[in-house]
Amino acid sequence: MKETVVVAIGGNSIITDNDSQSISHQLSAIKLMVKPIADIIEEGYNVVLTHGNGPQVGLELQRSEIANQHNQVPLMPLVNCVANTQGGIGYLIQQCLQNELRSRKVQRNVVTVLTQVEVDSADPSFKKPSKPIGSFFSLEEKNTLQQENPTWSFVEDSGRGYRRVVPSPTPMNIVELNTIMQLIENQNVVIAIGGGGIPVVSTIENEVSLLSGVDAVIDKDLSTELLARTLNADILLITTGVENVAVNFGKPTQKSLGEVTVNEIEEYKKEGHFPAGSMLPKIDAALSFVRSGGQRAIITLPEKLLPALRNETGTHIIS
């Protein structure tokens, strides 16, 4: 068995655009997405998968709001939307990856762990929402939605349009960590902390620590880094929409990054090259993982997993 690799798949790899939101579209995207994952499993890597759910949570919220407006169906809390999409996406990935491995005659079980992640109830993000979820909207669509939902907040997302933003507290503790570790030790391919995990807070009642859900969406990349670090994984591999991280993105002076040190990335970060809500959480996760002792963090396209692990492409952040 080669190194343990924690792979983060973005929610936008599953819903690629606003015209591809149906379950059949998502299933088609996942069937393609699992092929490079199967490649690295077949190569002998011990793989743990995480995934985003931003677009799917947005759809789940929209369904709940429409049902409430037209049929008085009770609104679904955001935390339940996170849990529902974690299970639903995990099911699709689990099934597709298992089928792909079986077609290659690779004998590995795939299992999804519905994962809670503890956050601090006093986290400042609850007062200042920042996490983009759901579809992209034009300025006109955003203004209409803002009028209809005055409590909502929006942000412009990397020139692609406007998205709703919700609280995104820092992940502190993975509740099901011991279960995940036991599954990995028994050679299972584990899908965990989908969508950053189901956000929960802990309260003490009668000297017992009890958990309860809280309305937020935890950043998937930060939770993935926490998982990779606590598992003592060798490599953190974060997928995104570009083959390499770039500085001066979209400008004539754009420069793609190959292998870079933590100090070099820190300098680029200080210069403001990485947008918040887009590339910045990935950079922060990569920096934290390598600083905590990980061999390397890699950022690249989902279809480039094996070439990236062979050091043929991607941005590699090393100590």
Catalytic residues: 11-12, 131, 220, 282
d(CA 7, CA 288): 16
Q: How far is it between the farthest Cα atoms of the chain?
A: 62
DSSP per residue, 179-221? HHHHHHHTT-EEE-SGGG-EEEEEEEETTEEEEEE-S----HH
Tokens of 88: 């639903």
Q: Which residues contact 4 (CB under 8 A, 6 or more apart)?
A: 45, 46, 47, 48, 184, 231, 232, 233, 234, 235
d(CA 7, CA 9): 6
Which DSSP state fits 150?
A: T
Cross-strand pairs, 247: 255
Which DSSP state fits 11?
A: G
